[in-house]
């Protein structure tokens, strides 16, 4: 995971980008196991992708946002997939 992802984080309250102070982060990368057709272990290698969870505090409005990031080693930080988990988005009302 690239380190410069922080500039891409948006506040879930005021939508400001890049003003978050990272309070906590967790990132995981899966292990891919390759086996032969008869079931013997051939090799294990780290996958080039993973998921991260970032808890950040906005420097503008001081609210806290939890963001999920789906990342890949070959992508730039701007190409990662960012999903704000908290605060939850307000449901859009349907107009008839």
Domain coordinates in residue numbering, the chain: 3-86
d(CA 4, CA 6): 5
Contact 64, 86 (CB under 8 A): yes
Contact 27, 51 (CB under 8 A): yes
Taking CA atoms, 87 is separated from 15, 60, 69, 94, in Å, by 11, 16, 15, 21
- List, for residues 64-79, the tens digit of each pLDDT value: 999 999 988 888 988 9
**pLDDT in the model for residue 12:** 93
- Model confidence pTM above 0.85: no
- List, for residues 2-20, the tens digit of each pLDDT value: 878 888 999 999 999 988 8
Average confidence (pLDDT) over 30-54:
73
């Amino acid at each position: 995971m690239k380190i410069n992802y922080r500039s891409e984080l948006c506040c879930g309250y005021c939508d400001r980008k890049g003003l978050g102070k990272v309070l906590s982060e967790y990132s995981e990368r899966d292990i891919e196991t390759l086996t032969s057709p008869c079931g013997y272990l051939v090799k294990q290698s780290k996958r080039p992708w993973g998921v991260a969870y970032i808890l950040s505090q906005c420097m503008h409005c001081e609210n806290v946002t939890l963001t999920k990031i789906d990342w890949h080693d070959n992508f730039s930080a701007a190409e990662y997939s960012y999903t704000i988990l908290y605060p939850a988005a307000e449901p859009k009302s349907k107009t008839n």
